[in-house]
Structure 1
Amino acid sequence: MEFPADKREFARKVRGMTTDHAEDQKKLQRLVEEWKRACDREIRGEKAMLSMAPETLIPLLVDESARAVEEVGGLEAWTALSEHEQDTRNKEIMKKISAHLGEECYSALSDDEKHATDLFVRGYCCMHKELNSVKGGNTKMVTFWEAAGLTGPIKLMNHDNAAAAAFGGSSAAQSRAEEVSVGGAVKTTSLAGAIFHHKDDKKGQQDTLRIFFEASSTVGAMVRFPDTSNTRYQSHCEAAAELLVHLPLYMEFLEMSSVHALCRGPESGSGNHLDLGPLHDKLKAHCCRVIEKPSLLLAPDASYELGSLDGKLWERPDAFYAVQRLRSALPHLQGVLVAFFEGALETWERFTVEFAPGGTISQLTEDQRNEAWMKSTNDDNEGGLGSFRVGLRQAPSMTIHQYNARVIYKTNKTREYIKTLKPIDHQFLRERARFIDSSGLEKSQRREQHEEDNRVVGEKRKKDKAKEEKSDAKRAKLNALTVILDVSRLTMDTITVAEIDLQLDWHRQFDTGKVKKIPMKRDLRLKAVKLNALREAVEHHNARPDPPTRVQTSAGDAEDAADSECEAGFDSEQED
């Protein structure tokens, strides 16, 4: 007699899961881990029930059944339930009993057995670590110019923003155009990618560029510019190197591309993700060395033995030497380089928490690492998603379960297996396929998704309304506030903490620069610190040639938004 496989056994055998760093994926990891443990307890409990004497099991069934009847409103309400509903609730009764008994069986295990049973390792894609380290480094590099009191890279505006900025005066449109426009390395490489490798092959100059390079006496081969229009591993770094190496062709992109070419990360390997902790520690230590001693990359005698992470030859030596040649024309290269590595280091620290000392991965034995083996990147999942999107373009009406069946059919080489089946098996498969196709599974899932979307939208509207009411109340309070602009009145004895906070909120509405002059409320804990910040805000306000005098927007909006971003965490960004 054949017994079907229990899908819960699959869950019990799961030893880990690797995803990207987004919060929804971290939640998915938690849910899978909970599912694994729940399945383990159920199976243990069911085995315990089979070995229990009737006089021990029956009281458990009676007690749990009584609770189930009470939950629906009594015996009459239970009797009124349909046969299907009663059957469903009876299964829930058995599930609860087995889970309870399974937990007792689990508690009787040794610590080593418990650890082996519950082993679940969370890994996060190394490709996304690299992507976000470049993003973090670039963010820090952008703030370097203002923090150092220097004029940074010019803003590269589109036609509409350029027209608004050239309008003159102090219009809101002009301010908005200048605020949303950016410059610098990533903007430059993005524009270069749009020209030399456009995502739409009917646009851009990619074909002309390849022909030009092939005909060039210095290159003599077709060059494919890196694809910066999509999120690609190191694409902007590669674009920066390409622009620098072929300087005569890319002169207009020169100055804002230099640092990225020095910051190429190591290529992702195909080994076990769980063995990469020491590599990431080495990488962060290398960032610290460059920050402390940028001459490792910028000195005339800089060498790959000390300047590269692995001590091996530069991945693209011509890019490194191109930066060396341009050093004298880039007076702030060292400051920008240090800022980039500082931002990259902060991001690496944030994105390598799974390897922290004392964490799950650091405590695994070699056997456990092999047992929970996982790839270093999440490329398979993302590649699968990309293939699914392509598949939908070719067959828009194809359902998800149909697509999954086709992919699994190819991946598992199901064709060979089907050849071994008997006619009765083929008949069963056809009947099962017709049942699934006619079950309305896809429509049911869409309905559930619609209901969930409505729930999320409803909750968001409630939060937005509450936030708007809070902003209106704060705006009204600030409109009625008597603003203190005399520094001599700001003493510890004459003003309370609540008054200081209100005065700071009034000044924050005009603190609109990228680098905030007034610290956030969460960073001002002591009254003396708050008072000092208020004095500086008043002095800055009085020093303006035309100091503002009225409330324009809710003073707490910017800080509330910043606080919400901090609470949400950096990972919700990307992701990706």
Structure 2
Amino acid sequence: MKKWEKEQRTFKKLRLKVKQLDSQRRQAQESLRSANFKLKSLKTFRSTKEGIFTPEMRELGRRLYSLGCSAENVGEAIKTCADAFGISVTKTPSRRSVLRFRDEGGFYGLIQLGREISHSERMGECSDGTTDRKTTYESHHVTYKCPTYLPDVDDSDSSTWTHRTRFVTVEPAVDHTGKTQFEGTQHLAAEIAAAYSDSPLAKGDGKTMSADDWIRKEEFQNMDHAADGKKKLEFCTKWKKEVLTEDLGNDLLDYLETGELHSRLASLSDEDLAKAKADATYFHLILVNSTILIFLNSSLSTSQADIDRETSRKLLTHALGEGALEVMPAALRDAMLAITFAGCCAHKDMNAFKYGVAALEEMWEKEGKTPPILLANKANASTIRLGDPDSAAVRAAETSSTRGGVKATMLAGALFNHSDDKKGYQDLHRRFMALNKLLLYDIVDNSRFADTSNTRFQSNTYGSAELITHLPLYHELMEEVTDGKVKPGFNHLESNLYKALHDIPTLTELAAITLYGVAISWPYLRTVRGDGTDAVRNILDDDLIELHRKIPAFCESIAENPNQLLQEPSSTNFSMVTLDGRPWMDPSAVMAIRILASELPELKSAISAIFSAAAKGWRQFTQEFISGGPFDLLTPEQRSELFIPATNDVNEGALGSWRVSRRSNPNITAAGFSNKTRYERNNTDRFIAKLCDDADHCYVRQEVRRIGASGENTRLQENLLEAQRKRAEANRLKKSEAARKKREELERLSQVGLIMDHDIIMRMTVVQLKDQIKIHKQILADPILGKTLQKDLKTKAVLQVAVLSAVEQNKE
């Protein structure tokens, strides 16, 4: 019995254990199912919510597109990466969706620009233009202080802000005139203002931006030295004056409407008035301007029967603003209205170099020396060779042909680094020069020849230095080129370059150009562009201002004593031969010139010519730096707060990127490129992550869809602009042709001459009489004939009477 009870208790324990294990099994299975569900959920990237791609997926699509993945392949790239990580994606975007994501990124960039401009105290604008496939494109950037949008930084603290140059757009334009550029700026300001002001972000900030805010805060423009840029500056200065005048008038009118102005004026003592007159603020000065008060009182009592209230207020506002500006101290008024112009330093260097090269070309004739060999193109060379030396055709061919050092570097660039990579000897040149430089000089150099086929800053000075330094190697390379042909011999381009590299006057110019580069041009751009980091230099830095004031005199000192460039300076005396006082940037080029100098009898004259003319160029293009000039007129606050980029490289680079992008992606529009570039270069991804919420995302999606549906910023719009440009060009040519014909007609009539003799007039033919009528009309501006129509002068007798009457009138 005891054994049975014992077994029964054991059995009960086992059953309880089984029950417990079964419960644990069920719990484990439930946990496993839950874990599998969570794992599957974690392994699934849900790219949509309620049928709309999530902000995270849109951001991922933008980043992949920005990194170079084509819009067609973004979806497949996402799926491939997800498979590699063991993740499934519920839906991937199509090409059309990716391009929409891109455009949304650009629209976020517009909102960002509007917010930053509305919060900044001052800003500046820079722009540039180029022509691509016969269409003009304008690039725009703005510079101001703005937040960094770093996660751990308080962006509301303006002390954390830094100066940044923001990309705005590359857009097509009808032409590159100052007026068109100005209208483009106004359009951009309105577009940015609307994008930000209508956004939920602006409502949350409690701020808006108007198009006029752009010009209110614009205090400088940085661009090339072309006349169109100066014309645009005039338009912008006028716009700023109009806006600030209206602002001043509105402030005063608002103050008047409070009823405080009269009571405050009545309480002013003579001492208060004297103090107000000495005050620099416009408001106190307005309080003592009785002229404006009289106008104000009379305007308020004027009947509104003929003028509506809005028009009356606008006229009154303008008058008040004009009065405020008139009584304001001149220094304060000028500082408030001024837009400081700062020319691109790279263009200053290029323009001064042009002055020097022009002087080199003139030097040979002035000194009666044999000029460089003529390097005519194929057609002109044939005309010169086969024609009569005294014929007009030969003289025209010689006049239109060029010669000299710059021409030689252009020929070398066309042969060794052609803009079309299917032409020239690019690879042969690199292999030959790299091997020989290594064997002969132990120099590792696999670089290309200077890019003189395109417009590149300093390319001619670099090309000159390369040719003059390794002249024997280039002689050998040219001979190897011709020997390697099936039919040995030079073509016309090769023949011209070979002749130039053996011509003493041409080599003299190459040497002078090289010395200008190592002494002035290269150190100058090394200084204004900084240490090579991404940081852009401020043109208002004290050392850059002193540098620009120093350059003309420095060039003249070398022009007066060219020997100092041909002698080795002491290690502490480079300040006499290089602009920045540092050692030669290319000592081998200087050494090669010194060795070759004995064979170049006119080298010193060439050095003096290029440096003295460059000094004139530097004076011409550094007017803003002179003592008492625009930069000296800036207030201490403006000097400390303004950041003007020293070069216009950002726009040059943007336009170059546009052309490269268009070659690799022919279907991209300027608007699509701008949206992509704005997102990439302006830290827009940080801006979105830190400041934008669901309401902003919804607003951006709706606006981009609306713009897409409206046809704005499409290829069609660019085609319409191109058609408009062609019509404008046709009208311009038509007017030019009409003006030319008018000039020729006036010259012909001048040769015909005015006839006053009665008998001669009576013997004239109808054609001769008509010529006399034209002389009286077009040259002498006869008032009677000027009103006479051609249909009233049909017969010869009538023409005779008209001419005789005009003669009598002229005698009186």
Alignment match, 2:466: 242
1:141 correspondence with 2:360: yes
For 1:469, give the aligned amino acid.
K
Specify which of 418, 425, 434 is matched with residue 205 of structure 1: 425
Alignment match, 1:40: 244
1:431 correspondence with 2:702: yes
For 1:319, give the aligned amino acid.
A
For residues 683 and 706 of structure 2, the distance between their equivalents in structure 1, rounded to whole angstroms, comes to: 23
Distance of aligned partners of 1:241 and 1:422 in 2 relative to their CA distance in 1, 3 Å threshold: closer
Alignment match, 2:741: 468
Alignment match, 1:24: 228
For residues 381 and 61 of structure 1, the distance between their equivalents in structure 2, rounded to whole angstroms, comes to: 54
Distance of aligned partners of 1:140 and 1:471 in 2 relative to their CA distance in 1, 3 Å threshold: farther
Alignment match, 2:440: 218
For residues 243 and 466 of structure 1, the distance between their equivalents in structure 2, rounded to whole angstroms, comes to: 47
- 1:443-482 per-position Cα deviation (integer Å, ceiling 9, x unaligned): 678657755764565355335433433344435656989x
| Alignment map for 1:481-496 (pairs within 5 Å) | none
| Alignment map for 1:346-365 (pairs within 5 Å) | 346-365=616-635
1:228 correspondence with 2:499: no
For residues 23 and 14 of structure 1, the distance between their equivalents in structure 2, rounded to whole angstroms, comes to: 20
Specify which of 306, 313, 320 is matched with residue 590 of structure 2: 320
- 1:369-410 per-position Cα deviation (integer Å, ceiling 9, x unaligned): 232321111111221222223333344454444433332222
Deviation, 1:263, is: 0.2
What SS is found at the alignment partner of 1:312?
A: coil
For residues 211 and 63 of structure 1, the distance between their equivalents in structure 2, rounded to whole angstroms, comes to: 88
| Alignment map for 1:40-439 (pairs within 5 Å) | 40-53=244-257, 66=306, 97-107=316-326, 109-111=328-330, 113-169=332-388, 170-216=390-436, 217-219=439-441, 220-221=443-444, 222-251=446-475, 252=498, 253=501, 255=504, 256=506, 257-264=510-517, 265=521, 266-268=523-525, 269-270=528-529, 271-274=537-540, 275=542, 276-299=544-567, 304-419=574-689, 420-439=691-710
For 1:190, give the aligned amino acid.
M
Structure 1: tracts of 5 or more residues without a match: 69-89, 482-576
Please, what TM-score do these two structures have when normalized by structure 2?
0.52
Please, what TM-score do these two structures have when normalized by structure 1?
0.71
Q: Is the 8 A contact 2:346 2:647 kept in 1?
A: yes
Q: Is the 8 A contact 2:416 2:424 kept in 1?
A: yes
Distance of aligned partners of 1:338 and 1:91 in 2 relative to their CA distance in 1, 3 Å threshold: farther
For residues 623 and 330 of structure 2, the distance between their equivalents in structure 1, rounded to whole angstroms, comes to: 25
Q: Is the 8 A contact 2:335 2:635 kept in 1?
A: no
Deviation, 1:96, is: 5.2
Deviation, 1:15, is: 1.5
For 1:118, give the aligned amino acid.
L
For 1:288, give the aligned amino acid.
E
Distance of aligned partners of 1:330 and 1:3 in 2 relative to their CA distance in 1, 3 Å threshold: closer
Q: Is the 8 A contact 1:199 1:229 kept in 2?
A: yes
Q: Is the 8 A contact 1:193 1:225 kept in 2?
A: yes
Larger relative strand fraction:
2
Deviation, 1:364, is: 2.7
What SS is found at the alignment partner of 1:362?
A: coil
Q: Is the 8 A contact 1:209 1:223 kept in 2?
A: no
Deviation, 1:124, is: 0.4
Q: Is the 8 A contact 2:364 2:371 kept in 1?
A: yes
Q: Is the 8 A contact 1:61 1:97 kept in 2?
A: no
The alignment yields a C-alpha RMSD, in angstroms, of 3.3
Distance of aligned partners of 1:479 and 1:223 in 2 relative to their CA distance in 1, 3 Å threshold: farther
Distance of aligned partners of 1:16 and 1:203 in 2 relative to their CA distance in 1, 3 Å threshold: same
Alignment match, 1:484: none
- 1:291-328 per-position Cα deviation (integer Å, ceiling 9, x unaligned): 22222223577973422223321111111111111111
Alignment match, 1:87: none
Q: Is the 8 A contact 1:121 1:372 kept in 2?
A: no
1:14 correspondence with 2:224: no
User: In terms of Rg, which structure is larger?
Assistant: 2
For residues 54 and 369 of structure 1, the distance between their equivalents in structure 2, rounded to whole angstroms, comes to: 37
What SS is found at the alignment partner of 1:242?
A: helix
For residues 408 and 133 of structure 1, the distance between their equivalents in structure 2, rounded to whole angstroms, comes to: 34
What SS is found at the alignment partner of 1:200?
A: coil
What SS is found at the alignment partner of 1:314?
A: coil
Q: Is the 8 A contact 2:237 2:338 kept in 1?
A: no
For 1:289, give the aligned amino acid.
S
Q: Is the 8 A contact 1:259 1:337 kept in 2?
A: yes
Deviates more, 1:231-240 or 1:427-436: 427-436
Distance of aligned partners of 1:241 and 1:455 in 2 relative to their CA distance in 1, 3 Å threshold: closer
Q: Is the 8 A contact 1:142 1:184 kept in 2?
A: yes
- 1:522-556 per-position Cα deviation (integer Å, ceiling 9, x unaligned): xxxxxxxxxxxxxxxxxxxxxxxxxxxxxxxxxxx
Distance of aligned partners of 1:399 and 1:195 in 2 relative to their CA distance in 1, 3 Å threshold: closer
Sequence identity of aligned pairs in percent?
33
Deviates more, 1:94-103 or 1:28-37: 94-103
For 2:363, give the aligned amino acid.
F
Q: Is the 8 A contact 1:305 1:312 kept in 2?
A: yes
Deviation, 1:157, is: 2.1
Q: Is the 8 A contact 1:46 1:98 kept in 2?
A: yes
- 1:8-46 per-position Cα deviation (integer Å, ceiling 9, x unaligned): 334222211111011111112222222333332333333
Deviation, 1:164, is: 1.5
For residues 57 and 431 of structure 1, the distance between their equivalents in structure 2, rounded to whole angstroms, comes to: 50
Alignment match, 1:458: 731
What SS is found at the alignment partner of 2:555?
A: helix
For 2:580, give the aligned amino acid.
D
Distance of aligned partners of 1:61 and 1:445 in 2 relative to their CA distance in 1, 3 Å threshold: farther
For 2:244, give the aligned amino acid.
D
Distance of aligned partners of 1:352 and 1:272 in 2 relative to their CA distance in 1, 3 Å threshold: same
